[in-house]
Amino acid sequence: MQRIFNKETPKYIGKKVKVAGWVQTIRSHGQIIFFDLRDKSGILQIVFTPSVNSGQAPSIKASTESFDSELRTNLLSRMSSGQAQKDDIYKTAKEVRPEWVVGIEGTVQKRPAGMVNPKVETGNIELQPEKLEVFSKAKTLPFAIDDSGYEISEEKRLKYRYLDLRRDRMKKNLIYRQKVIQAIREFLFKEDFVEVETPNLTKATPEGARDYLVPSRLQSGKFYALPQSPQQYKQLLMVGGLERYFQIARCFRDEDPRADRQPEFTQLDIEMSFIEQEDILKLSEELYIHIIRKVFPEKRITKIPFPRFTYQKVMEKYKTDRPDLRRNKEDPDELAFCIIYDFPMFEWKKKEKRFDAVHHPFTRPKEEDIKKIKTDPSKILAYQYDFALNGEEVGGGSLRSYRPEVLEAVFEVMGHKKADIKKKFGHLLEAFEYGVPPHGGIAWGFDRLLMVLFKEKNIREVIAFPKTGDSRDPMMDTPSEVDESQLKELHIKIKKD
């Protein structure tokens, strides 16, 4: 017999089924034992009753003093109407404890009158078991999983993350995370995009944050870097003629963590050829709207089309480039998107005494400002744009520099010498010499978007196995030391302070 999910059982009234899962709660009314069996789909009530011929005098008088007469009659009828199980099944059921993993075969029956639970999807039926198998036992859990879990320390929750994921809120977050990804793919495939995976072992390049480095065993003294984003690869895909690319991409940045950051995170990465800024803004707006209507129909978008502000205007009016435009900030189901554009191309780094790109060096300066790159970089605007939602930045992108001479000029403003530019970005500049289309794109902070949509205050609540605030994983005990032999193979020595 093939196992079915709990939520499917109402379709099998009067028929035998096989279910499996975790015993969430156990209740005894006299000698009648009730299990709430939990699987990924929901809860199913299992009813165990002793055999009337077992020598155990069934009595529920003491446990049903507070029950009304109809309910008492229903309980008594279970033990006298031929529904009682064999003695060995009942004996095993008495030994079971919460969170044990079991498999059960039995007949689906309607619940007696007065015992229907409309709050549960399977509340009108129950299972009369004929076979009970214990797959594994469970120790007492280190914390409760039948509540939100917010009051439990982060360290403890992440140490036992596999238990934390059993709570309804966490399970729902991961299920809806997948629903959002499915909606994204549905939309972009209809728009003729191609989903492409790009490498996770790449080249260390200066893109703003620190790279995570991976030593090479075969090329002694050399290193790969984990990608801060697929930035150069997606531009090379445009050179390769793909024209419309997207990826649910894993990204890595060695930066100081905070509530909306993680050392590894997910972004929706999009790149398009032969477009203007308006094309990517329109596509992104339509995609956001599609996700909300498809996955979160109960939520309300404050204004469509999304309000737009230049960077200068939004800073003058709101003193931030990610304003919260909700009309009622106490309403968590209100979604106020807005678009910010015309960002400065460069910002001055006082400590380093040099200019740096506000977005990244591949951003295209405004056409009319290109001639001022070397003479007055502080006044240059860029084809850069951000999407904000309820006070959080959830997406950002730009049109890209596709003329090698402009890209070289940008790197020079940032303090890079020509030799360094060729060494670090020569592959991209060379690719542009073989015919490159005008192109641009956007990257969504996927975890941060879900944090807002799920009404969470921390992106760790929407990631299956996140790191702590100081980038550790208490469950796997990482980062950790490695064997001396591994370091020797990599030609690495640890220098102790």
Does residue 186 sit in the same domain as residue 234? yes
Q: Answer whether residue 47 is part of any domain.
A: yes
Q: What is the CATH number of the domain that holds 90?
A: 2.40.50.140
Average pLDDT score over the chain: 91
Higher pLDDT among residues 352 and 227, named by residue: 227
Q: Is residue 281 part of a domain?
A: yes
pLDDT 10s digits, 85-131 = 577 899 999 999 999 999 999 999 999 888 899 999 999 999 999 99
Q: Is 370 exposed, middle or buried (0-12, 13-18, 19+ CB in 10 A)?
A: middle
Range of the domain at 279: 154-343+382-402+437-489
CA dist., res. 36 & res. 41, Å (int): 13
pTM confidence score: 0.90
299 found inside a domain: yes
Considering the domain architecture, whether residues 316 and 462 belong to the same structural domain is answered as yes
pLDDT of residue 74: 60
Residue 82's pLDDT is what?
A: 45
Is residue 432 in a domain?
no
- Does some domain include residue 196? yes
Render pLDDT for 393-403 as a digit per residue (tens, 0 to 9): 999 999 999 99
Statement to judge: residues 112 and 69 lie in one domain: yes
> Among 164-168, 371-375, 386-390, whose mean pLDDT is lowest?
371-375
Last residue in a domain, options 136, 170, 199: 136
Share of the chain above pLDDT 90, in %: 75
- pLDDT recorded at residue 147: 95
Q: CA 217 to CA 325: how far, in whole Å?
A: 52
Distance of CA 389 to the CA centre of its chain: 17
What pLDDT, on the 0 to 100 scale, is given for residue 276? 97
Give tens-digit pLDDT for 118-134. 999 999 999 999 999 99
Number of domains in the chain: 2
User: What are the structure tokens assigned to 208, written together?
Assistant: 């703003």
Q: Is the pLDDT of residue 9 over 60?
A: yes
Domain identity same for 317 and 457:
yes
Instruction: Report residue 67's pLDDT band, with 50, 70 and 90 as the boundaries.
Output: very low
Specify the pLDDT at position 64: 38
Phi and psi at residue 102, to the nearest 5°: -135, 160
Q: Are strands 212-215 and 244-252 parallel, antiparallel or unpaired?
A: unpaired
Mean pLDDT lowest among 169-183, 187-201, 353-367: 353-367
pLDDT of 243-299, one tens digit each? 999 999 999 999 886 766 899 999 999 999 999 999 999 999 999 999 999 999 999
- At CB < 8 A and 24+ separation, what contacts does 152-157 make? 154/460, 154/468, 154/469, 155/468, 155/474
User: In this predicted structure, what is the pLDDT of residue 69?
Assistant: 54
Binning pLDDT at 50, 70 and 90, where does residue 52 land? low
Residues 44 and 12: their CA atoms lie apart, in Å, by: 13
Residue 420 falls within a domain, yes or no? no
Do 423 and 379 form a contact (C-beta atoms < 8 A)? no
Is 364 domain-assigned?
A: no
The domain that holds 269 is classified in CATH as: 3.30.930.10
Do 132 and 190 reside in the same domain of the chain?
Answer: no
Is residue 128 domain-shared with residue 170, that is, in the same domain?
A: no
- pLDDT bin (cut points 50, 70, 90) of residue 60 is very low
Assess whether 96 and 221 both reside in one domain.
no
Identify whether residues 88 and 123 lie together within a single domain.
yes
One domain, residues 176 and 122: no
Clarify whether residues 234 and 101 are in a common domain: no
Q: Residue 369's pLDDT band (boundaries 50, 70, 90)?
A: confident
Contacts of 280 (CB under 8 A, 6+ apart): 270, 272, 385, 397, 399, 440, 441, 442
For residue 362, give the nearest of 438, 433, 267 by alpha carbon.
438
331 has pLDDT over 70:
yes
Q: Are residue 160 and residue 290 in the same domain, yes or no? A: yes
Is position 141 within any domain?
no
307 and 214, same structural domain? Answer: yes
